[in-house]
């Protein structure tokens, strides 16, 4: 038994004919051209409360970059997790934090420059380690107090702080905040 009547089928065919694309898919713009046509993220409008809540310190805005100064992103892992977890899981935590820090601060000039096509093959990251949870929480509090924009990655559903990453900053500006923290080995 046919559940669709011929009149319903005819109507559906007319509907499809009207709505289908008139040109073959090969003539549609590519995803790249559609994305590149979007306005840059920093042109988004902000309401007054969002502007008022932004940090007023110079570190909250893009830091002054000296000529020849590298843009760098700092990633801080927990040594206790490096020793206890599989390597892949630990690396993944660092990736989560780094990507989240970049995404959260994508409207910053330094972040855009760090992600630019001319810098894509020469990104600079410094990977450091702290002993455990209390040290990574203390570091996050210190950076917040100083106005350094970062992301403390909290693994869910366990609610464990696993990694911290800054947004990209000029190295001459950001390095002093991490000089007492050792390189991850």
Indicate if the pLDDT at residue 34 is higher than 70.
Answer: no
Residue 40, CA distances (Å) to 3, 60, 171 in order = 51, 20, 25
Contact residues for 120 (Cβ-Cβ < 8 A; gap 6+): none
Residue 120 tokens, joined:
């894509």
Instruction: Give residue limits of the domains in the chain.
Output: 67-183
Cβ atoms within 10 Å, residue 14: 10
Contact 41, 107 (CB under 8 A): yes
- Give mean pLDDT, residues 68-91: 96
Q: Nearest-CA neighbor of 165 among 110, 101, 90?
A: 101
Structure pTM? 0.67
- Give mean pLDDT, residues 70-87: 97
Contact 114, 168 (CB under 8 A): yes
Identify the pLDDT of residue 41.
Answer: 45
- What is the fold, at CATH topology level, of the domain defined by 67-183? Bit1 (3.40.1490)
Looking at the chain, the number of H-run helices and the number of E-run strands are 8, 6
Do β-strands 169-170 and 160-166 pair in parallel, antiparallel, or remain unpaired?
Answer: unpaired
Identify the pLDDT of residue 84.
Answer: 97
Indicate if the pLDDT at residue 23 is higher than 70.
Answer: no
pLDDT in tens, 100-157: 999 999 999 999 999 999 999 999 999 999 999 999 999 999 999 999 999 999 999 9
Contact 127, 65 (CB under 8 A): no
Residue 50 tokens, joined:
């969002």
Identify the pLDDT of residue 32.
Answer: 42
């Amino acid at each position: 038994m046919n559940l669709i009547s011929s009149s319903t089928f005819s109507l559906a065919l007319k509907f499809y004919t009207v709505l289908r694309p008139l040109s073959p898919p090969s003539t549609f713009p590519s995803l790249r051209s559609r994305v590149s046509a979007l306005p840059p993220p920093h042109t988004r409008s902000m309401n007054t409360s969002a502007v008022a809540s932004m940090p007023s310190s110079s570190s909250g805005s893009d830091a002054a970059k000296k000529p020849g100064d590298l843009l760098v992103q700092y990633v801080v892992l927990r040594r206790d997790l490096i020793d206890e977890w599989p390597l892949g899981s630990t690396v993944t935590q660092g990736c989560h934090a780094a990507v989240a820090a970049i995404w959260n601060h994508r409207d910053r000039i330094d972040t855009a420059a760090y992600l630019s096509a001319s810098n894509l093959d020469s990104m600079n990251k410094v990977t450091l380690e702290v002993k455990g949870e209390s040290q990574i929480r203390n570091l996050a509090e210190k950076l917040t107090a100083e106005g350094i924009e970062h992301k403390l990655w909290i693994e869910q559903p366990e609610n464990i702080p696993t990694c911290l990453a800054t947004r990209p900053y000029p190295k001459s500006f950001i390095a002093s905040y991490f000089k007492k923290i050792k390189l991850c080995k």
